[in-house]
Structure 1
Amino acid sequence: MKNLITRALTGIIFVVVLAGAIFFHSISYLIVFGIIIFLTLKEYYGLSEQYTAIKKTSWLYCLGGVYLFLATFLYMGSYTTAQVFLPYLLFIMYIIISEIYRKTSTPILNWAFVIFGQLFCALFFSLANFIVFTKNGNEESTYTPLLLLAIFIFVWMNDTGAFLIGSLLGKHKLFERISPKKSWEGFYGGLLFALASSFVFAYLFPDISWYKWLGLAAVIVIFGTWGDLCESLLKRTLGVKDSGHLLPGHGGMLDRFDSVIMAIPAALIYIELAIRN
């Protein structure tokens, strides 16, 4: 019971801070997400240190991921041109070339762990900038946080429904090899909660058709579940229960954002194909 209360309080504070940062202003969104990406990468590279020789330079990889987010923010916000990505391209080249001089026995593992972290934790998060900014024909950008906020709310509703229904009715394992506690009943419970919340968005924001909101919620649940399972596979492979201990009752940053990380690129594809066109 105590752990449930701690988890609930942490979740409430987390939701308020994140939703407030997204909705309040583009700068608050930039700051909060920059911190999230840094902490997520720091946690990820910390988990991989036992398999690689990147401990001394892990902070540099964290900053590189934050720079990618900043670069996409500046580009999509029409603050600068695509040349802002050139330093990050040099950074990726450095990651590859630096292994020549490390003289370690695990260069391929080093490449794999470092670049996967940039892909999973930095690139997928950075794609959120393509959701919150819309450009007109004159390449002028507008900060429109509604859809990103909806993504997070659908993820939270899915998590809540999956936890409640799974705890009460869960019998059939969803993917026992990777995550023994997850059930099909929990999955459908989370889907039901998310789909129900999409009708609230359809009522409050009728400019987007109800069935498009419904489709977005379904995409978030499906890919968010896959993101959760991917992170569970990562932890199981590395032999850890939680990715960290930063968030009481929730574990680490990866534990908290695993669903969102995979949901963002899937949502971007859906938004571009079904909502903006």
Structure 2
Amino acid sequence: MNETLTRTLSGAVYIAILVVCSLFSPSFITLFGVFLAIATIEFSRLTDLNRWTSLGISAFFYLLLAVITPASTLIALGFCLFVFGVLLWWLFSDKRQAPIPGYGILIGYIAIPISAIIWIPNTTGIFKPLTLLGVFILIWANDTFAFLFGKGFGKHKLFERISPKKTVEGFIGGWVMSLAFSIPVAIWLTKEPVLHWLIIATIASFFGTIGDLIESKFKRSAGVKDSGNIMPGHGGILDRLDSIIFVAPFVFLFYQIVTYVS
């Protein structure tokens, strides 16, 4: 089968499953539990962690964070942001291996962020799946148009050492189009203030790009092209979640701030 067709069909199936399951709370929690398990296995391969130990740790944190108290949420997010900070430093360093223990990265980079994804539709205490779908739409818009603008107009490399194909022009194009998509998402999908979604679009573009670059460095350190092969033409689940992993904690924090000040 033609590679482009394979990639298109695989991506369409992924999006359909994500959209349908996200509309209902039980299937939504189950889906991201499955995503977490697959992402954990893929990450353990990249970092030579024990698969079963990694799965046990991720399952423990996913179940724990599903019923977490507000104070514990802040502790979990604090550790997550600490790990993100270390990984950001690692991204710009010449070091091949991340400077903190692998299971610590697993918790802060995989288990807590994917758990934060399931917090987003419940920030007001009422299950609002369209909020999460809006975030995914902005990430997809950013990724798609960053590729198109980069291919059509890209001249200046964004971070050639880690991702040779990413360009500054592509990043700006993806950000602008994410901002454009945030307006209909706010007005027609979530019915929330446009300003809120312009901020979320910026979060999605900036932190989504960082998440993509960090996962690329993990793959380069492991000497592989993709994190897995479960999605023909796309690679692994971690390849699909690399942006939302970095975006979700910041979107959740944004909603907490908005709730607190309103």
Does residue 1:147 correspond to 2:146, yes or no?
no
**Are 2:178 and 1:178 aligned?**
no
Distance 1:195 1:72 in 2: 31
CA distance in 2, matches of 1:260, 1:146: 15
Q: What residue number does 2:230 align with?
A: 246
| C-alpha distance in structure 1 between counterparts of 2:170 and 2:164, whole Å | 12
Unpaired segments ≥5 residues, structure 2 = 73-96
For 2:168 and 2:260, the matched residues in 1 are separated by: 32
Q: Is the 8 A contact 1:34 1:70 kept in 2?
A: no
Residues 231, 207 of structure 1: CA spacing in aligned structure 2 closer, same or farther, 3 A cutoff? same
Deviation at 1:41, TM superposition (A): 0.4
Cα offset, 1:109, TM superposition: 8.8
Of the three residues 64, 72, 75, the one matched with 1:71 is 64
Q: Secondary structure at the match of 2:225?
A: coil
Distance 2:64 2:128 in 1: 18
C-alpha spacing 1:165/1:30, structure 2 compared with 1 (3 Å) = same
Describe how 1:77-88 pairs up with structure 2 within 5 A. none
Residue pairs, 1:14-29, within 5 angstroms:
14-23=14-23, 25-29=24-28
What amino acid sits opposite 1:203 in the alignment?
A: I
3-state SS, counterpart of residue 181 of structure 1: strand
Deviation at 1:234, TM superposition (A): 1.1
Query: When the two structures are superposed, what TM-score results if normalisation uses the length of structure 1?
Result: 0.78
Aligned mates of 1:206, 1:261 — CA distance in 2 = 21
Output the CA distance in 2 between the equivalents of 1:274 and 1:133. Answer: 14
Measure how far apart 1:178 and its partner are. 1.0
Correspondence for 1:30: 29
Question: What does residue range 147-166 of structure 1 map to in structure 2 within 5 Å?
Answer: 147-166=131-150
Find runs of 4+ consecutive structure 1 residues off by over 4 angstroms: 108-111
Aligned residue pair count? 238
1:232 is displaced (CA, Å) by 0.9
CA distance in 2, matches of 1:109, 1:184: 26
* Aligned CA-pair RMSD: 2.6
- Alpha-carbon shift at residue 261 of structure 1 (Å): 0.4
Structure 2: how far apart are the matches of 1:143 and 1:35?
20
In the TM superposition, what are the counterparts of 1:199-218 in structure 2 within 5 Å?
A: 199-205=183-189, 207-218=191-202
- Greater C-alpha Rg: 1
1:205–1:109 Cα change, 3 Å: closer
Q: State the Cα deviation string for residues 63-116 of structure 1 (Å, max 9, x = none).
A: 32123222222347x9xxx7xxxxxxxxxxxxxxxxxxxxxxxxx999711221
Shift of 1:171: 1.6
Work out whether residues 72 and 129 of structure 1, in 8 Å CA contact, stay in contact via their aligned partners in 2.
no
Cα distance in 1, alignment partners of residues 189 and 98 from structure 2 = 47
Flag the 1:275–1:155 CA change in 2: closer, same or farther, 3 A: farther
1:180 to 1:225, Cα distance in 2 relative to 1, 3 A: same
CA deviation string 1:29-72 (max 9, x = no partner): 111000000000001102222xxxx43xx223213212322222
Is 1:59 the counterpart of 2:52? The answer is yes
Aligned ranges for residues 88-237 of structure 1 at < 5 Å?
112-134=101-123, 141-205=125-189, 207-237=191-221
Alpha-carbon separation, structure 1, partners of 2:53 and 2:33: 14
Q: Is the 8 A contact 2:207 2:246 kept in 1?
A: yes
- For 1:212 and 1:33, locate their aligned partners in 2 and report how far apart those are by CA, in whole Å: 25
Matches within 5 A, 1:38-57: 38-49=37-48, 54-55=49-50
Is the CA contact (8 Å cut-off) linking 1:158 and 1:191 kept in structure 2? Answer: yes
Q: Which runs of 5+ in 1 are unaligned?
A: 83-107, 136-140
CA distance in 2, matches of 1:170, 1:187: 9
Please report how far the alpha carbon of residue 207 of structure 1 lies from its aligned counterpart in structure 2 after TM superposition: 4.5
Q: CA deviation at 1:205?
A: 5.0
Q: 1:276 to 1:116 in 2, by over 3 A?
A: same
Supply the distance in 2 between the matched residues of 1:21 and 1:206 (Cα, whole angstroms). 18
> CA offsets, 1:202-230, max 9 Å, x none?
22157421111111111111000000011
